[in-house]
Homo-oligomer: A and B are copies of this chain.
Amino acid sequence: MKKTVTEIRESQVKISDAFWSRIQEKVIDVVIPFQEKVLHDEVPGVEKSHAIENFRIAAGLSQGEFYGMVFQDSDVAKWLEGVAYSLAVRPDPGLEARTDGIIEIIEKAQQPDGYLDTYFIIKEPEHRWQNLHECHELYCAGHMMEAAAAYYRVTGKDRLLHVVERLADHIIGRFGPEEEKEHGFPGHQEVEIGLLKLYHITGKEKYKDMARYFLEERGKNPDYFYEEKIKRGWSHWGQYSTEKLDVSYNQAHQTIYEQKEAVGHAVRALYMYTAMADLAGTDGDDRLYKACRTLWDNIVNQKLYITGGIGGDSEGEAFAGNYELPNDMAYAETCASIAMIFFAHHMLEMDMDGAYADIIEKELYNSTISGMQMDGKQYFYVNPLECEPGVSGRLFGYRHALPTRPGWYACACCPPNLIRLITSLGKYCFSESDSTIYSHLMIGQKAELGKADIRVETSYPWEGKTEYFIMPKTKEEFTLAVHIPYYVDVNRRETSLTVNGEEMNLPELVKKGYAYITRKWEKGDTLCLQFPMEARKVYANQHVREDAGCVAILRGPMVYCLEGADNGELIQSLRIPKEMRAVPYTCEEGILKGNTLLKIDGFRMVGSEELYSEKPPVKEKTVLTAIPYYAWTNRGENQMRVWIQEE
């Protein structure tokens, strides 16, 4: 399954959308400047980052000790990547100049042999590359490669690109299949993605080969990290022991071809799957595609929360077993959902199946942006599907699942990951092949594509009307393929696809989730997709213990939830009737202004005052208010549930 499409550059798309523009603005106006200050240790009350200072010390521009996590460098890299995309969204010469300054420091910090990791440059130069299992040197390298690729793609500036090429060459010089080289691979996958991005820009096969090497070496010797530890005779963190390690946490227990179940640390896993899918599509490697597909199917059919959340096991931020999806104890890390988009995007490039675009949508509108407070100032790492004040964030087993978004964390992974996702959103809207323009997402925008410029106007995600205004650049016939979300019934009379007002036979046009319209497009041609948007009740598989007897309410791509703020106490005593009547309305005031909420005729079970009683609870009619899940806990700490019992 070779990729048949080329990736859209971030700068080809300008988003102008009622829903997304607000979020992009928050990220650009609030999060990027805030993180810039954090990286420079300029925010009082936020734990010192020291990340840029570490680079300055490593560069000899400052005196001092390394401070922070061993992967502190990656905070700078992720911010740089986000800044790059943000400059495509909204040019900012001041920000760009400051960024160039930081890149200069990074360049100076790089060692003559190409090595670049401030922890080891400053603190343990003699221990470089001796602890791939825990020390994140390759992880930091990968993020810097991604940053360099992004900055080059948007600005055309190649200074950081040259830095990471030298770094990549240094890595290639040390690791690889050759006998004289070390046969290692990273404890936290990421460098594989970075190397592939470097390949896509430079076309240099050695980077792709190195990515393949790291992927395929993984799990060949499941004891590699153990042997590495015994060889060096010491441990960085925690107690040194000679016990064997459970490397399924690092997806190093089997080769990538043998792995049939998504296990271990979710972000590590999804970064690996992302690189696997990119490489499979780049090389047209069917065996690798199948490996990706197996893992994809396992996630989507057994391990994905309805919100797109990933990771049912908070210990190790990890996948739990099949169908093990606890709601109040969910981990569902924001970063894992973001990484799922990366994975899906590469799968989609190989196989234009709407199922992949559906997952991108699910992630975008739910478990990714739920990581950010409406004001852009507070962030969730963990995105539970149920919250119980007094228990969530406090009791054993629930301590990770906070009831409200806290501010900046010392370990800043999720907010910068959100920055780079939201600022590069344009990239996920379209793909283009020789014959076809694919529209994956219904987001208002202007796109400058190869065969046409397209302006999109939409009422999505609140209503199902999207118009594409096409300005072809060619007189030849080409195809516009528009993604039809999985929940749209193309056979309904209310669903329509028109070109210049003329209704097309939609059911005939749809193949695997895309409607294909092939014609000689004329300047000003307008394609309009319309479908009714109704609240839907969704049931979980009976294997999902935690959702038994419950339904989730969805409307369009949005998962809804009930919060105490609207529904009073004891959310668990609320019931959705089997025949549901839900009325959507636009919230006119407060923090949720502009969101479509739902009024649902439901019930409240009112029971005995006793702890236990033979008296059945009485069903009282009540009107429930459901809000989009992503917006939960923006009105203070309160109860929340996505899965509501049916009655």
Contact = CB atoms under 8 A, between A and B. Distances in A.
Contact of A539 (B304, B315, B329, B612): B612
A608 B541 contact: yes
A506 interface: no
A178 to B, nearest CB: 41
A540 B388 contact: no
A315 B647 CA distance: 35
A611 B307 CA distance: 12
Nearest to A573: B542
Given A545-B388, A572-B548, A573-B548, A614 B539 contact: yes
Interface residues of A, number: 55
Given A324-B395, A395-B313, A578-B616, A611 B539 contact: no
Contacts of A616: 537, 539, 578
Interface string A597-633: 0000000011111111111110000000000000000
Contacts of A610: 301, 541
Contacts of A548: 572-573, 605, 645
16 contacts: A302-B611, A313-B396, A314-B396, A315-B397, A321-B390, A396-B397, A537-B614, A538-B612, A539-B614, A539-B615, A539-B617, A541-B608, A541-B609, A542-B617, A544-B611, A549-B549
Nearest to A306: B612
A355 to B, nearest CB: 12
Contacts of A390: 321, 324
A300 interface: yes
A537 B612 CA distance: 10
A570 B542 contact: yes
Contacts of A398: 397
A300 B545 contact: no
Contact of A543 (B302, B397, B570): B570
A271 B329 CA distance: 32
A552 B616 CA distance: 12
Given A540-B607, A549-B605, 14 more contacts: A316-B396, A320-B391, A324-B390, A324-B391, A487-B614, A537-B614, A538-B612, A540-B611, A541-B608, A542-B570, A542-B606, A542-B607, A543-B570, A548-B573
Contact of A613 (B313, B391, B538): B538
A314 B578 CA distance: 37
Nearest to A398: B397
A536 interface: yes
A557 B513 CA distance: 58
Shortest beta-carbon contacts, A-B, top 10: A397-B397, A315-B396, A548-B572, A542-B573, A549-B645, A542-B607, A545-B572, A538-B612, A541-B611, A301-B611
B611 A397 contact: no
A320 B542 CA distance: 29
Tell me if A's interface is mostly helix, strand, loop or mixed.
Answer: loop
A552 B537 CA distance: 28
B570 A605 contact: no
A280 to B, nearest CB: 24
A572 B324 CA distance: 13
A607 B551 CA distance: 12
Nearest to A396: B315
B302 A613 contact: no
Given A396-B314, A645-B548, A321 B391 contact: yes
Interface in A522-549: 536-545, 548-549
A292 to B, nearest CB: 19
Nearest to A325: B611
Given A320-B395, A573-B542, A578-B616, A300 B611 contact: yes
Contact of A541 (B300, B388, B607, B647): B607
Contacts of A396: 313-316, 397
Interface in A280-329: 300-302, 304, 306, 313-316, 320-321, 323-324, 329
Which one of A320, A542, A617, A645 has the greatest number of beta carbons of chain B within 10 Å? A542
Contacts of A395: 313, 315, 320-321, 324
Interface string A385-408: 000101100011110000000000
A542 B572 contact: yes
Which one of A543, A545, A607 has the greatest number of beta carbons of chain B within 10 Å? A545
Nearest to A537: B614
Contact of A540 (B536, B537, B612): B612
Contacts of A608: 539, 541
Which one of A300, A395, A573, A613 has the greatest number of beta carbons of chain B within 10 Å? A395
A398 B391 CA distance: 16
A304 B605 contact: no
Contacts of A572: 542, 545, 548
Contacts of A540: 607, 611-612
Contacts of A544: 611
Interface in A453-507: 487
A24 B329 CA distance: 41
A314 B611 contact: no
Nearest to A388: B545
Nearest to A569: B543
A248 B22 CA distance: 47
Contacts of A306: 612
A314 B615 CA distance: 31
Contacts of A570: 542-543
Nearest to A552: B612
Interface string A568-582: 001011010010000
Nearest to A314: B396
A606 B543 CA distance: 10
Contacts of A609: 541
A542 B612 CA distance: 10
Nearest to A541: B611
A56 to B, nearest CB: 35
Contacts of A314: 396-397
Nearest to A574: B548
A332 to B, nearest CB: 15
